[in-house]
Structures are given as structure tokens and as C-alpha cells.
Amino acid sequence: MVGYYFFDQNSKPVIAYTGVNGAKAAIGLSYPLDDDLLNWTTQATKPIITGAPINIPNKDFRDPYVWKEGDKYYMVVGSGVANNGGMLASYTSTDLVSWTNIVPIYKNNNINSAGVFWEMPFFNKINDKDYLLVVTPIYNGAPARCIYWLGSFDGAEFKPYDTNPKEFEHIAGRLLSPSIGIDADNKFTYIGIIPEDRNVQDQVKAGWRQTFSIPRIIESTGSKLVHRPHPNLCKARANEVSIHNKIVQHSTSNNLPEYKGNQSEMEFYLNTKNSNQFIIQVYKNDAQKEFTSIIFDRNTQKIGVNRFLSSTYSTAKDYKSESYTIRDTMHVRIFIDHSILEVFVNDEIVISSRIYPSENSRNIDLIPTDGSVEILSFKAWDIVSKEEVSLSDFCGTSSSVESVLDEAIIQVYPNPLTSDTFIITTPAIESNSDYALSLYTLAGIPIDYEAHYIGNDSLQIKILRKQDTDLILGKLKVKNSVQTFKMMLIK
């Protein structure tokens, strides 16, 4: 059964877990016996919750999550109202010993969208305003998937901003049961199960099944969640390959011969305004008969993954896509690890997939189906094994970002800012189609923005997500010249 850790009133770690005696489920706490957290006592004879609430007919009862607000602990346990949808069995305590069953802080009777029973609930305040509820529902006659709501919580009731749940990932069902915690930098971090797509016989033959995603960070924009890889993953990088300012024409292939890999991290910055559709291919063999395609379609405004030619094994062969606005400048990060594909777009959406390629399918490719795509920057790294991971606390900024620190400050109007929108002026810009702009934080993390040419050598820029920094680094490419600069935003 699934457990979850938290800290008690003395800042000591505790695990809340589900135990089963053969007849019913109960909730217990486990405490460490040593400072290395290698040995624990489960106190199996003293469950803190002896069973599901007797006042509500329920489907099942498991997977506790505990958090603290003020001097009160809250616990929610995955459950469901019999024949009436998912539910959070809910409890409070001030000492972790005596617990009071309270009215469920949330339930949803729409069994088509929210399922009949909720596994692996997560509930916590994700920023200064928003609370996040994540569950993996069980459905009648449909595969499990992970969904979430954002909303408010008054200490007794969770009120979602929208009662219709949102998909946790861009394509439903490709990641399940995320385990969400808080890292050393107070960022909400998770890993999740990327479920099998092989048949049972191939799983038995291989001798293993199931695997987890890379660690990721989630944040709330107020209306949706956004995802990005955990920054500490850069410690696993080795053998960097870098390409800049390369134009790829349509109807060509083998456009990234500089790098091959099947245990890799890749980062693309692409100018896509001259192409209506382009494809990034991974796990591609030399004969170009086996590959997985990540398709970016401006005509349909969708991003999807095509697995029809991904494998010679008896596994899922499909193409699934969902709506996403294709921008002129796209930031794409891809992680592959033998049977895993994880795609992050503009630090907003993420797509996971299981892929079962041949061992020699190691080529990477970028193919516009029309027009051309400019690779503003492509970087790739081999992912080293855990024994080789750097122990450095900080990966450092890239050389391209470091070089910007010495550049002049460009003026911003108005400053102090009155909103997230401001104007910069540079004589190099002549029209809306003549430039490519990239913005970064000091740590080298890309900033999501919209920009429009408004005449008189000026760009109007809107920052799409709140930034904690006042210093923004920029790179502006106009025709054959590149200008780098700093902006100080006074808030």
C-alpha cells in the first residue's frame, strides 16, 4: 500500500501508510529508529484510523496524505461514495494521536469525468492563493488517468475554481499516481508511474515492468498547472553536444547527425514561424524504419506523439494529440531513457510515453513537413548512471547566459511596471517578422512571454508567468546579427 511522509511537531519525519489485516484497511504511522532513516517502527498494533468512515457508504479506503496548517494536522484518504463518485475521507488532529473524522473536504459525483474511486490523493496549498487537489481515479470500463483541480480551502471545504477536472499531463493516461512533495528549495516536486504498454508475456520475458518519470516541478498559474524538469537533473549531464543557428528545410532528414543517444537529455530553442508542421524524431534507426515522432502542428494547434513505428514488439501503436498553441519560438526539452519518452514544452506542458525501440535506434532528427525551421539552439547530453552523478550543489549557468551578464542594460517603459506588459526599443527591429527573442532568468531558466512589434523600433512584451527575479537576460536575433542585453524590472 502507498504511504506518504511528513514532519511532526518536532520536525521529525513520519510516514502515514495504509495497512490491511485481511479484512479491512486502516491507517497507521511509522517513525524512524535512527537518524539515517534506515530502520522504522510501524506501530502495527495501534492504527490511528481503524477503518473507513461508517457514516458514508464507500467504495474503498486507502492512500493517506497528511499536511499541517497552523497548529492543526489534516489527513485525506482516497475513497469514493458507493455509486456516487470519488471522495476524500477527511480527518483532523492536533497531536497525531487522536484524529477526528470530519465532513469530506471534497467529493465529486460526476463519475464520467472524476471516476468512482480516488487513489493517491494529494492536497496542499501550492502558492500564496491556490490549493491543489490531485487524484488518480478508477473508472467504470475505462483506463485510469491522473486529474486535478485548483481552488480555495477555508479549513473545512475545498472549493474548486472549476468543478470539471483537468488532465494532469497533456495526454491523458500516460502518467499515473504522482507522488508529490516539497524539495529543499520549497518547490513542489513529483515523480509518477509511466505505465506499461507491452503485453504481459513480453513483460514476463523481460523480467521487469513499470518505471517512474524523472523528478519534475509543478507550479500554478491560477488557472492551470505548469510542469518543468527538476533543475538538479543537470547534475546527470555528460558529453555535451551543441548546435546553433542552423536552418532545416522541409522534406529533408538526418538533420541532427551530430548527436545519437537513447539515454539522453535534449534541449531545443526553435524558430518555427516559417513552418506549419514540424516533427522531432527520437529512437530512430539508420534505416529510418523505426522511430517515434513528436508532432507540432500549427494548422490544428496541437502537439502529439506518434508511436505507430516506435517498436517491433507487440506494444501500443497509436497517435494521440491535444490542443496547444504553436508559437513562433518554441522551447522543447526531451528526456529519453531506453523505454521512456518525456517531452516538456515551453515549461508548461509535459507528455510521457513508453517506447520499446531496438537497441540500435539511437538517431535524433528534426523534420519540417513544409517551409523551414531554424534551430536557434540545440544542446544534448548523455545521462550518466547514478554512480557518476555530480555531487555539486549547483550546475551553474550556461556560457551563453554568463556572457549576457556583461552586456548593457536596455531601457524598459514603463518602469516601475504597472502590469506584466512593457516596451523595449532597439533600432535593429524593422518589422514583426525580422526578429527572434529569447528571455532568461539569471539561472538560465527560460521565461515564457508574448512579444509584438508595435512600430518605431519597439517591441511590446508580456511576461506570461510571474517571475521572482528583477533581472531578466535577453538575446535578440535580427537578420544576421545578435544583440544580448539585460533588463531591470522595477515592480
* 296-349 pLDDT per residue, tens: 999 999 999 999 999 988 888 999 999 999 999 899 999 999 999 999 999 999
Distance, CA of 286 to CA of 299 (rounded, Å): 30
Structural domain count of the chain: 3
Is 87 within the bounds of a domain?
yes
Give the angle 111-113-117 at the CA atoms, nearest 5°.
50
Q: How many CA atoms lie within 13 A of 303 on its CB side?
A: 20
Q: Is the pLDDT of residue 443 over 70?
A: no
Query: What CATH number is attached to the domain comprising 445?
Result: 2.60.40.10
Query: Using 50, 70 and 90 to split pLDDT, how confident is the model at 488?
Result: confident
* 213-237 pLDDT per residue, tens: 999 999 998 899 999 999 999 989 9
Residue that finishes a domain, picked among 374, 392, 410: 392
How high is the pLDDT of residue 399? 44
Residue 347 or 168, more confident: 168
How high is the pLDDT of residue 186? 87
Q: Is the pLDDT of residue 479 over 80?
A: no
Distance, CA of 436 to CA of 181 (rounded, Å): 37
Is 240 within the bounds of a domain?
yes
Query: What CATH number is attached to the domain comprising 125?
Result: 2.115.10.20
**Are 410 and 296 part of one and the same domain?**
no
Q: Whose CA is closest to 369, among 243, 258, 253?
A: 253
**Are 428 and 388 part of one and the same domain?**
no
Tell me the average pLDDT across 163-174: 97
Residue that finishes a domain, picked among 167, 187, 203: 167
Burial of 54 (0-12, 13-18, 19+ CB in 10 A): exposed
Is 7 within the bounds of a domain?
yes
Residue 7: in which H helix or E strand, if any?
strand 3-7
**Are 54 and 7 part of one and the same domain?**
yes
**Are 297 and 410 part of one and the same domain?**
no
Residue that finishes a domain, picked among 336, 369, 392: 392
How high is the pLDDT of residue 477? 82
Distance, CA of 200 to CA of 180 (rounded, Å): 29
Query: Using 50, 70 and 90 to split pLDDT, how confident is the model at 390?
Result: low
Query: What CATH number is attached to the domain comprising 284?
Result: 2.60.120.560
Helix, strand, coil percent values for the chain (each to nearest 5):
5, 50, 45
In eight-state DSSP terms, residue 287 is T
Distance, CA of 43 to CA of 300 (rounded, Å): 56
Is 195 within the bounds of a domain?
no
pTM of the model: 0.80
Query: Using 50, 70 and 90 to split pLDDT, how confident is the model at 394?
Result: very low
Rounded to the nearest integer, the mean pLDDT of the chain is 89
Buried b vs exposed e over 124-156: b needs ≥16 C-beta within 10 Å? bebeeebbbbbbbbbeeeeebbbbbbbbebeee
Is 221 within the bounds of a domain?
no
Query: Using 50, 70 and 90 to split pLDDT, how confident is the model at 393?
Result: very low
Query: Using 50, 70 and 90 to split pLDDT, how confident is the model at 284?
Result: very high
**Are 408 and 388 part of one and the same domain?**
no
The number of residues in the chain equals 491
Is 417 within the bounds of a domain?
yes
* 103-149 pLDDT per residue, tens: 999 999 999 999 999 999 999 999 989 999 999 999 998 999 999 99
Distance, CA of 372 to CA of 55 (rounded, Å): 63
Share of the chain above pLDDT 70, in %: 91
Tell me how far CA of residue 205 lies from CA of 198, 353, 462, in angstroms. Answer: 11, 21, 53
Query: Using 50, 70 and 90 to split pLDDT, how confident is the model at 407?
Result: low
Domain span at residue 132? 3-167
The cell numbers describing 36, all together, are 539515517
Distance, CA of 50 to CA of 340 (rounded, Å): 40
Query: Using 50, 70 and 90 to split pLDDT, how confident is the model at 480?
Result: confident
List of residues 6+ apart from 244 with CB closer than 8 A: 375, 376, 377, 378
**Are 405 and 363 part of one and the same domain?**
no
**Are 343 and 260 part of one and the same domain?**
yes
Partners of 349 in beta bridges: 345
Secondary structure (DSSP) of 168-200: SSSSTTSSEEEEEEE-TTS-EEEEEE----B-H
**Are 66 and 145 part of one and the same domain?**
yes
How high is the pLDDT of residue 430? 66
**Are 240 and 372 part of one and the same domain?**
yes
Q: Whose CA is closest to 489, among 408, 402, 419?
A: 419
**Are 134 and 243 part of one and the same domain?**
no
Q: Which residue intervals of 190-277 are DSSP H helices?
A: 200-206
Query: Using 50, 70 and 90 to split pLDDT, how confident is the model at 427?
Result: low
**Are 364 and 415 part of one and the same domain?**
no
Query: Using 50, 70 and 90 to split pLDDT, how confident is the model at 389?
Result: low
Tell me the average pLDDT across 362-367: 98
**Are 361 and 255 part of one and the same domain?**
yes
How high is the pLDDT of residue 189? 96
Least confident of 101-110, 179-188, 258-267: 179-188
In three-state secondary structure terms, 87 is strand
Which of 40-44, 273-277, 416-420 is predicted most confidently?
273-277
Distance, CA of 414 to CA of 487 (rounded, Å): 12
Is 224 within the bounds of a domain?
no
Alpha-carbon torsion, ordered 236, 240, 243, 248, to 10 deg? -60
Is 423 within the bounds of a domain?
yes
Tell me the average pLDDT across 366-374: 98
